Amino acid sequence: MSVPVITIDGPSASGKGTVAAIVAQRLGFHYLDSGSLYRLLALHARRQGVAWHDEPALAELAGSLPAAFVQGAVLLDGNDVSMEIRAEEIGIGASKVAALPAVRAALLQRQRAFGVAPGLVTDGRDMGSVVFPQAAVKIFLTASADERASRRYKQLIGKGESANLPQIKQDIIDRDSRDAARAVAPLRQEPDAFLLDTTELTIDQAVDTVLRRFGQYQASGI
């Protein structure tokens, strides 16, 4: 890579987005939440009346997706939809559209364009395997299904939304299965990715681990 890239892949609700954003801030790097692109596409398709299984139509929408990331806000056609794309339904839609080869192809170069100086931290499910296979540091960040469900439950309750813990856990298990079994860019740990299990870790401990890995990369002079 011409600039250093840190990829943090992992399953839903593992905390990879929070960790990646903090790491990017600490290093002064750019940050790409790749999942937001698929969530934006799912939301955009819903608004345009396009079904989440209509691959040709979704790929066309992806090619001209009016998305932007400004000061931590996620914009769709100039409007802040940061909260709206985090709805559980949109997350399910994102998982479905992300399984479509034509959609992933349409968004591939768009994601790679974020890899500019001084560096990039990106999270997703195929950042280290497909989008940035030559990344300086690859992390596979995970946690137990119980812990991830508990985190999501607390997050929803904290926002004043209703939540059912057993259902959340089942949704997470189902999504893990879909993401791991899809034919294109399945969720998996790459051989050169460092496994970071955050079940028993705080956010700060997870962030420090990633920063240490990057420090080791810098020290190696690669």
Q: Tell me, what CATH number does 136's domain have? A: 3.40.50.300
Q: Are residues 38 and 97 in the same domain?
A: yes
Q: Are residues 78 and 176 in the same domain?
A: no
Residue type, 55: E
Q: Show the domain range for 84.
A: 34-115
Please determine, for residue 51, whether its predicted confidence score (pLDDT) is greater than 90.
yes
Q: Which residues are annotated as a binding site?
A: 10-18
Q: What is the pLDDT of residue 140?
A: 97
Q: Are residues 22 and 126 in the same domain?
A: yes
Going by pLDDT thresholds of 50, 70 and 90, the confidence category of residue 150 is very high
Cα–Cα dist 138/83, whole Å: 28
Please determine, for residue 69, whether its predicted confidence score (pLDDT) is greater than 90.
no
User: pTM, whole model, 2 decimals?
Assistant: 0.84
Where do we find the tokens 């030559």?
134
Q: Are residues 124 and 207 in the same domain?
A: yes
Q: Are residues 130 and 189 in the same domain?
A: yes
Mean pLDDT of the chain: 92
Q: Pick from 88, 115, 142: which residue ends a domain? A: 115
Q: Pick from 68, 91, 115: which residue ends a domain? A: 115
Q: Are residues 124 and 215 in the same domain?
A: yes
Q: Are residues 102 and 131 in the same domain?
A: no
Nearest to 11 by CA among 126, 110, 107, 121: 126
How many Cα neighbours within 13 Å face the side chain of 124?
Answer: 30
Cα–Cα dist 7/152, whole Å: 22
Q: Are residues 86 and 160 in the same domain?
A: no
Q: Are residues 164 and 197 in the same domain?
A: yes
Q: Are residues 140 and 204 in the same domain?
A: yes
Q: List all residues 6 or more positions away from 27 whose beta carbon is below 8 Å from its beta carbon.
A: 118, 119, 121, 211, 214
Q: Are residues 159 and 184 in the same domain?
A: yes
Going by pLDDT thresholds of 50, 70 and 90, the confidence category of residue 1 is low
Q: What is the pLDDT of residue 222?
A: 62
Q: Are residues 10 and 59 in the same domain?
A: no
Q: Pick from 96, 115, 134: which residue ends a domain? A: 115
Q: Which residues are annotated as a binding site for ATP?
A: 10-18
The structural domain count of the chain equals 2
Highest mean pLDDT among 155-164, 182-191, 192-201: 192-201
Please determine, for residue 144, whether its predicted confidence score (pLDDT) is greater than 80.
yes
Total Cβ atoms within 10 A of residue 21 = 17
